[in-house]
Each structure stands twice: as structure tokens, then as C-alpha cells.
């Protein structure tokens, strides 16, 4: 888990501060979070690292698709900070994030 936290922190630091690419058919969560990129890339990992009210620490789940991970992220009402990263081991690019 510490490895995942370090990789997530590095990915957030090295990611260019560019304007997100928002495609017309991109899913939007109820919180208004838009994905940075929407591609059919296979398995993705949802990493939640910030919470409201509860503090279970950093948690992650693997999903078969980007859309499934976005739906799950919007269902997590107590999650305030999360990222969806490419790959089963979160080794890919940050595809979407919410850092409130």
C-alpha cells in the first residue's frame, strides 16, 4: 500500500497542469468530476486517498473498465480525493481525479 501511495504522489506531481480533455460522451459523476482522458484501455484502478468523516486510509479497487470505475467513484459518498489510474496495478497514467 505504501508503494501505491508513493506512485500516486509521483504521478500527481509529474502530471502536466494542462486543461483536461473532455469528450462529449464522457461520463460525469454526480459530483461534477470530469475525466482527464476517456479511452478504452481495459482494467483500471480506483485509488481513494481522502475521506470525509471516516478515515480508513488509502484504499484501491480494480475495475474492468473506466466507466465502471467512474460509477463506483460517484457512489462513494465519503470519498473526497480519488484518482483512476490505468492498469491493474495502478502503473498507468492518471485518467481521472478528484481532489477537493
Mind listing the pLDDT tens digit for each residue in 36-81? 555 567 899 999 999 988 788 899 999 999 999 999 999 998 899 9
Cα 47 from Cα 98, distance rounded (Å): 10
CB burial of residue 47 (10 Å; 0-12, 13-18, 19+): buried
Mind listing the pLDDT tens digit for each residue in 63-73? 999 999 999 99
Cα 7 from Cα 47, distance rounded (Å): 11
- Count of other CB atoms within 10 angstroms of residue 38: 19
State residue 60's pLDDT score. 95
Scored b (16 or more CB within 10 A) or e, 53-75 reads eeeeebebeebeebebbbebbbe
Domain parsing of the chain, residue ranges: 2-16+42-99
User: Of 15-29, 36-50, 83-97, which has the strongest mean pLDDT?
Assistant: 83-97
Amino acid at each position: 500500500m505504501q508503494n501505491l501511495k508513493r506512485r500516486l504522489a509521483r504521478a500527481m506531481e509529474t502530471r502536466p497542469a494542462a486543461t483536461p480533455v473532455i469528450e462529449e460522451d464522457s461520463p460525469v459523476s454526480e459530483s461534477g468530476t470530469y475525466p482527464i482522458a476517456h479511452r478504452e484501455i481495459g482494467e483500471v484502478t480506483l485509488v481513494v486517498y481522502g475521506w470525509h468523516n471516516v478515515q480508513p486510509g488509502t484504499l484501491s479497487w480494480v475495475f474492468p473498465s473506466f466507466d465502471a470505475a467512474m460509477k463506483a467513484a460517484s457512489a462513494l459518498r465519503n470519498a473526497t480525493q480519488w484518482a483512476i489510474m490505468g492498469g491493474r496495478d495502478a502503473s498507468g497514467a492518471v485518467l481521472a481525479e478528484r481532489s477537493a
